[in-house]
Amino acid sequence: MEETSIIISGFGGQGTLFAGQVLAYASMDNGLQVTWIPSYGPEMRGGTAHCTVIVSEEAIGSPLVRNPDIVLALNLPSVDKYEYLVPDDGVLVANSSLFNREIERKGIQSLLIPANEIAEELGMVRLANMIMMGAMLAMKPILPLDAVKKALEEHIPERHKKTLPINFKAMDKGYDFAKG
C-alpha cells in the first residue's frame, strides 16, 4: 500500500473529525503508520471543520497535504474547495443531500451520495459521516470495512456503545450504495 491521504470536510457537528479519528484508529490497529490532523473554523458547530488523515505502510514524511488522494465532502463548500485539488484518479465522495450540482471535475472517481436522506431513513441524521465512510471504503478499500467497524467498537466512548449497531448499519448502507 502506498501512502494515501484523505481529507474529511464539512460543517462543525457533522462528525468529520470523528470519522477521521475512526479511520486513524483502524489504520493503527492494523499496523499502519498514520497521521490525523483536525482543523476547525471560527465556530465549532455550523462553522467549517475538516481533518486530514494519512495512511501508509512506511513512515510518513509530512502530515501536510495539498492534493488529497481521497476527499469526503459533507457539504457544498467542501466540494467547492477540494474538487479541483484531488489528483487524477483520486476519489471524491460528496454528500448530495446538501447541494444540487454535479461534480464538474473529470479524471477522478466521484460519487454523489444522499447521505443525509439515508441517515434519516436509519433514524439518525448524524450518521451521514459513517455512511460516507462506508462509501469511501467501497470505492478505495484502504482498509477492510470490518477493520473500521472493529476500530469504532474498540475506541468509541462507553456512553456511545449503544449506537454501534446503527453506526455499523450506516457504514454498510454507504458501502452498498457505492457498490451499486
Domains and their CATH numbers in the chain: 4-179 (3.40.920.10)
pLDDT, mean of residues 55-76: 95
Looking at residue 69, what is its pLDDT? 98
**C-alpha cell of 100?**
444540487
Q: Is the dihedral of CA 134, 130, 79, 61 positive or negative?
A: negative
Check whether 126 has a pLDDT greater than 60: yes
Please answer whether residues 81 and 39 qualify as being in contact, where contact means their C-beta atoms are separated by less than 8 angstroms. Answer: no
Question: What is the helix (H) or strand (E) element at residue 11, kind and residue range?
Answer: strand 4-11
- pLDDT tens digits, one per residue of 3-55: 999 999 999 889 999 999 999 999 999 999 999 999 876 655 567 899 999 99
Whole-structure pTM value: 0.94
- pLDDT tens digits, one per residue of 132-162: 999 999 999 999 999 999 999 999 989 999 9
